[in-house]
């Protein structure tokens, strides 16, 4: 739904922002810069910035419409802790050299697998040891059939683009470990979603 000016509104963001915030309160550092990948409408980053005033937030998205929406929501909020949005494609080198944490909500299933690969590779490049990479969304899990809602969602995604679809949690964990992250801390979330917190491993001599 389009609001006045350039602001976009995502109903799912209003539903899941508080459960996500509860996990972020425990996972994020007390201070520093949080890079958000695939910020979409920008509503999440506004909510998190209001609740976590010790942090600076760097939103990003590849889409021009999302960039305009993020900027409009940020201006309306008056929050100085939100930096101007960056145009960033997860599959390409990022225009960012450092961050203290990264959050990515509902992206890797609505993108080709190359986006997940780019996400972990670039996160490994810019995050210091022990810093979190937070992912949220639905996943396939070993030994568990997909819930009816997630099965229907997966089928609808693949109908839109065969390269899209719910990712196997084991495959994502394997990718994370191969790029220098520990196994995720997993939190069950509403509506059959998961919150995953991957931490950057310390480099051993």
**Contact call for residues 144 and 164 (beta carbons, < 8 A):** no
Residue 1 maps to a domain: no
Asked whether residue 205 is assigned to any structural domain, the reply reads: no
pLDDT score of 11 more than 90: no
pLDDT tens-place string over residues 143-169? 999 999 999 999 999 999 999 999 999
Q: Given a cut of 50, is residue 122 above it in pLDDT?
A: yes
- Rounded Cα distance between 187 and 27, Å, is 11
Q: Which domain holds residue 75?
A: 11-199
| pLDDT level of residue 12 (50, 70, 90 thresholds) | confident
The per-residue pLDDT for range 47-94, each reduced to its tens digit, is 999 999 999 999 999 999 999 999 999 999 999 999 999 999 999 999
- For 45: left if phi > 0, alpha if psi spans -120 to 50, otherwise beta; the answer is alpha
Question: What is the rounded average pLDDT for all residues in the chain?
Answer: 95
Axis-axis angle for helices 11-27, 43-51 (nearest 10): 40
* In the predicted structure, residue 188 carries a pLDDT above the cut 70: yes
Overall average pLDDT of the 19-48 stretch: 97
Residue 203 has pLDDT above 90, yes or no: no
- Number of structural domains in the chain: 1
In a domain, 40, yes or no: yes
Assess contact for 172 and 116: CB atoms under 8 A.
yes
How does DSSP assign 74-99, residue by residue? HHHHT-TTBPPPEE--TTS--S----
- The strand order across the sheet containing 132-137 reads 55-58, 32-37, 101-105, 132-137, 193-199, 185-189
Q: What pLDDT, on a 0 to 100 scale, did the predictor assign at position 77? A: 95
- We report the CATH number of the domain holding residue 136 as 3.40.50.150
* 20 is a domain residue: yes
* 36 located within any domain: yes
In a domain, 6, yes or no: no
Residue 150 lies in a domain: yes
Q: How much is the pLDDT for 18?
A: 97
Report CA-CA distances (Å) from 152 to 7, 130, 138, 141, 159: 29, 36, 12, 16, 11
Q: Does the residue 155 lie in any domain?
A: yes
Give per-residue burial for 42-74: e unless 16+ CB within 10 Å, then b: bbbbbbbbeebeebbbbbbbbeeebbbbbbbbb
pLDDT of residue 204: 58
pLDDT of residue 1: 41
Provide CB contacts within 8 A for 8, sequence distance 6+. Answer: 1, 2, 40, 41, 42, 65, 66, 69
User: What is the crossing angle of helices 64-77 and 43-51, to 10°?
Assistant: 30
pTM reported for the whole predicted model = 0.94
């Amino acid at each position: 739904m389009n609001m006045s000016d350039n602001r976009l509104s995502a109903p799912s963001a209003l539903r899941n922002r508080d459960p996500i915030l509860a996990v972020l309160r425990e996972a994020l550092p007390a201070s520093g810069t949080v890079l958000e990948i695939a910020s979409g409408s920008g509503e999440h980053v506004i909510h998190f910035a209001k609740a976590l005033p010790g942090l600076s937030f760097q939103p990003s998205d590849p889409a021009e419409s999302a960039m305009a929406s993020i900027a409009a929501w940020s201006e309306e909020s008056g929050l100085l802790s939100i930096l101007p949005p960056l145009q960033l494609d997860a599959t390409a080198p990022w225009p960012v050299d450092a961050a203290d944490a990264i959050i990515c909500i509902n992206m890797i299933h609505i993108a080709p697998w190359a986006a997940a690969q780019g996400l972990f590779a670039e996160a490994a490049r810019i995050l210091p040891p022990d810093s979190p990479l937070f992912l949220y969304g639905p996943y396939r899990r070993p030994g568990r059939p997909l819930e009816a809602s997630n099965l229907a969602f997966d089928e609808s995604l693949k109908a839109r683009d065969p390269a899209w679809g719910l990712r196997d949690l084991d495959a994502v964990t394997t990718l994370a470990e191969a790029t220098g992250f520990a196994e995720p801390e997993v939190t069950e979330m509403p509506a059959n979603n998961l919150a995953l917190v991957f931490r950057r491993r310390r480099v051993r001599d």
